[in-house]
Amino acid sequence: MREQKWIAYCWPLDGTQGKHQFAINQSGNVWTTPVADPIVAPAWNALMGGGDKGWSDDVAPEWVPYKR
């Protein structure tokens, strides 16, 4: 059985390398949000708002869509 829902994150190592973190999920959309200070890795469900929010179909991403 293959995975049906997933999220991959990327973020800068420090403030000199960028000011945003990014995520992509199974929809193929790329999402972005400013990094926190200090920069830390996002939680597994950060795209969905963190806390007790998870994979439920009625939970929409809270980050903004990335536009180049």
18: left (phi over 0), alpha (psi -120 to 50) or beta: left
Mean pLDDT of 6-31: 93
Q: Mean pLDDT, the chain, as a whole number? A: 89
Within 13 Å, how many C-alpha atoms sit on residue 61's CB side? 21
pLDDT of 64 over the 80 cut: yes
